[in-house]
Amino acid sequence: MSRILILLYPLLFCGAAMGQNNYDASLISKDLLPHASAIVRNDDVSVDVKDLDNVIYHEKKAITVLNKNGDELAHMAIFYDKNIVVRYIKGLAYNEYGKIITRFNEHDFQDESAGDNSSLFQDERVKHYIPSITQYPYTIEYEYEVRNKQTLNLDSWIPIPATSLAVEKSSYTFMCKPDFNIRYKEINIPGKVVTAATKDGLKTYTWQIAQIKAFRDEPYSPNWRQYLSRVIIAPERFSYYGIPGSFTNWEQLGRWEYDNLLKNRTSLPDQTVRYIKNLTADISDPKLKAKKTYEYAQQKTHYISIQVGIGGYRPFLASDVDQHGYGDCKALVNYTQALLKVAGIDSYYCVVYGNTDEKLSMLDDFASMQGNHAILCIPFKNDTTWLECTNQQMPFGFLGDFTDDRTVLACTPEGGKLLHTTKYSTEQNLEKRKADFILNEAGELTGNMETVFKGTNYDERNTVIEEAPVERIKHIKKYYPINNLEIEKLEFKQDKSRQPVTTESIRLSAHEYSAVDDGKIYFSLNSVDRYTHPPKMVRNRQMPVYINRGYTEEDEINYTLPKGYHLISEPLSVTINKPFGSYSGIMIPDGNKLIYKRKFQIKDGTYAKETYQELVDFYQSVVDADNYNVTLVKN
């Protein structure tokens, strides 16, 4: 998890007077210092729902920065848009001994567009500031209040939003009228909620934590959503951009989304309707109809990020996409859905968390606005088909690693439904290679190699394939660690079926591939598919081991050796079997032939944290075996 998360920290707030606490850095408990660049001394957040269109967020936070690396953790950033008004910001900075050194207010903050440069438009803005203090440690204490005009998205509480940050004390209070009902979910919260009522009869819910150590970035950790302490809150009744609604489960939320954000946005110009009808008229198989229609949408549209419309939730009209030929994921899903409808095929608009590194699912037991991407689902009987609509190259029915194997929300006229996308198994995600190499006495390697990519590995070479032939060769050289590699021929074939396959064929040569010295020849046995570094060890690991995706690599190289030489190295023979994966690397000498066979498999899943050292050792053994060197000697 990156430190950038601090910027995503929700817009929050509370209300004590400033400047009365003792922020002497020496008061911080020594227990909190390991791996910490900054310490949250105190953070009080309160959310006060005054009305369905009036929520006051208040946060007062003090953070002590221990060294330069902690500066970014004290970076104050307040995001806002049309729905959010920043009421005030003020703050103080203290030195090591807790003495005030400077004050700041909203004028010191820079106001910028929060949109990334790749978006055509995004209306979110940010006010941000880092005070310049060169003496460490120092403490920043600030307080701000914002008003939010909607109640659909109530901010979560994430008291430790980043690595290298420890917390002395942090609390969150949610306040509302007696008739405003919420549902909440506590994830990794050590304590329990405290509920109470104020003098004015308001309900309050309070959570707090104290003395939490900083955590480190550990490789193979699950997504932060799995392990960070957080509380998520959803309203029962809400108002969003003036649209009222209510929900307590996915079925109702999905129905609200369909009725208010999606319905009646699929009408198309007559010309397009006629075209699609013609296109599919002679096809009887509905799957072929759908494929034809999807391919039409692919060649007609492309993805451009535009975040406008109701909080970025409502897709553009299908007719606009028809005219402009572009749209964001929502617009393109809606457009493809509209085209399919013309062809007589029903489909579901689905909201998903798109993420390549971690498969993220909608929380089964907690309905709220989740996800960051949209895809389309065609519920063919016994053959649910998923379509990614933002990619012109994707085969029909293939999802790839951005949205596979996770729970998504389908928004349908009958209400919301949780569905699960296609899983590609360890065996399906395959990279299989076969090579015939000839090694001569001068050390030159020549030969042919064919590699097949399947499952989510299917699109592994797409960035190379998109290039022009000359550029392809430049790029492909970076994939193979063969010294002095020259590519004489390079071809790709793609079979864009439901189980797509990419085939790469290479004819290659490499002079001085092997080192020749004094009647000996040295060369690396595996020059095509090798690991060079194991993952780093983690002492006192905290997180379970999470392997996001299983895959299989199979390599077979048949070497023809120069005549008159024999092998003096001990033949390689390594076999390892672990719960999370397996490896075998063997070398079979056979006259002047030498056959190398390698199979590497890693299995997705979550494993106990104690497994981690085993995983490191596994990879270390793989690195050793993959980097095995052969020595030949002249007879």
Partner 1 sequence: MKKTLLFLTLLFASPTVFAQDFPFGQVSTEEIEMKKYDKDTSAHAVVLNEYGTSRIILASDNYTKVVFEYHIKIKIFDQSQFSKGTLEIPVYNGDNDAYEEVEDIQGTTYYKDENGLQQKAELDSKQVFRTKKSKHWTILKFAMPALRNGCVIEYKYRLSSPYKENFHSWEFQSDIPKKYSEYQVHIPAFWSYNASLKGHLKLTRNVADLESTCFTYGTAKCDCSHMVYGVSDIPAFVAEDNMTSPKNFLSAINFELVDYISFVNGSKIKYAKEWRDIDYQLKQEPEFGGQLKRKDLMKDRISAAITGKTDDLSKAQAIYAFLQKWYKWNNFIGIYSTDGIKKAFESHSGSVPDINLSLVAALNSAGINTEAVLLSTRENGFINTLYPALGDFNYVIAKTNIGDKSYLLDASDPYLAFGMLPLSCLNDKGRAFSLDKPSYWIDLGTTQQRESITYTYDLTLQDNGKLKGTLTRYFGGYSGYERRKAIKKFNTPDEYVENFGEKLPKFKILKSSIINIDSLDKPLGESYEVEINMFDNTNHNRLAFDPFILNKITTNPFKLAERGYPVDWGMPSDERYILTVHLPEKYAIENPPQEVSFFMPNKGGKFFTSFDGNSNSFTFSYLTSFNKSVYGPEEYPYLKELYNKIILAEKNEMVFKKKS
**Residue from the set 51, 466, 488, 495 that interacts with partner 1 by CB under 8 A:** 466
* By the rule CB under 8 A, 26 interacts with partner 1: no
Q: CB neighbours (10 Å) of residue 62?
A: 24
The rounded distance, in Å, linking the Cα atoms of 381 and 384 is 7
In the bound complex, what is the minimum distance in angstroms from residue 89's beta carbon to partner 1?
A: 18
* By the rule CB under 8 A, 523 interacts with partner 1: yes
Q: Which is nearer to partner 1, 212 or 418 (CB)?
A: 212
Q: CB neighbours (10 Å) of residue 487?
A: 17
Burial class (CB in 10 A: 0-12, 13-18, 19+), 528: buried
Q: Tell which positions 120-149 bind partner 1, by CB under 8 A.
A: 120-122, 132-134
* By the rule CB under 8 A, 326 interacts with partner 1: yes
* By the rule CB under 8 A, 220 interacts with partner 1: no
629 sits in which H/E element: strand 629-634
**Residue from the set 483, 509, 582, 592 that interacts with partner 1 by CB under 8 A:** 483
Give one DSSP letter per residue of 299-319, joined into a string. Answer: HH-EE--EE-SGGG-SPPPHH
In the bound complex, what is the minimum distance in angstroms from residue 529's beta carbon to partner 1?
A: 13
**Residue from the set 68, 87, 177, 263 that interacts with partner 1 by CB under 8 A:** 68
* By the rule CB under 8 A, 481 interacts with partner 1: yes
In the bound complex, what is the minimum distance in angstroms from residue 82's beta carbon to partner 1?
A: 14
* By the rule CB under 8 A, 323 interacts with partner 1: yes
Q: Tell which positions 531-560 bind partner 1, by CB under 8 A.
A: 532-534, 536-539
* By the rule CB under 8 A, 31 interacts with partner 1: no
Q: Which residue carries 């820079």 as its tokens?
A: 110
* By the rule CB under 8 A, 453 interacts with partner 1: no
Site string for partner 1, 565-584 (x = CB under 8 A): ----xx--------------
- CA distances in angstroms from 472 to 431, 454, 496, listed in the order given: 19, 20, 20
* By the rule CB under 8 A, 299 interacts with partner 1: yes
CA proximity to 405, closest of 423, 384, 393, 390: 423
In the bound complex, what is the minimum distance in angstroms from residue 324's beta carbon to partner 1?
A: 4
Maximum Cα–Cα distance across the chain: 98
* By the rule CB under 8 A, 69 interacts with partner 1: yes
In the bound complex, what is the minimum distance in angstroms from residue 265's beta carbon to partner 1?
A: 18
Cβ atoms of 227 and 221 within 8 Å: the answer is yes
* By the rule CB under 8 A, 107 interacts with partner 1: no
Cβ atoms of 73 and 165 within 8 Å: the answer is yes
For 326-458, strand residue ranges (E) read 326-327, 348-352, 373-380, 383-387, 407-412, 415-420, 430-439, 445-454
- Kindly compute the dihedral angle of the four CA atoms of residues 62, 64, 68, 70, in this order, to the nearest 10 degrees: -60
Q: Tell which positions 154-193 bind partner 1, by CB under 8 A.
A: 164
* By the rule CB under 8 A, 300 interacts with partner 1: yes
Cβ atoms of 384 and 377 within 8 Å: the answer is yes
Q: Tell which positions 338-397 bind partner 1, by CB under 8 A.
A: 392-393
Q: Which is nearer to partner 1, 441 or 467 (CB)?
A: 467
Cβ atoms of 121 and 304 within 8 Å: the answer is no
Euclidean distance between the first and final Cα of the chain, in Å?
57
* By the rule CB under 8 A, 629 interacts with partner 1: yes
* By the rule CB under 8 A, 522 interacts with partner 1: yes
* By the rule CB under 8 A, 312 interacts with partner 1: no
* By the rule CB under 8 A, 517 interacts with partner 1: yes
Q: Tell which positions 390-449 bind partner 1, by CB under 8 A.
A: 392-393
* By the rule CB under 8 A, 524 interacts with partner 1: yes
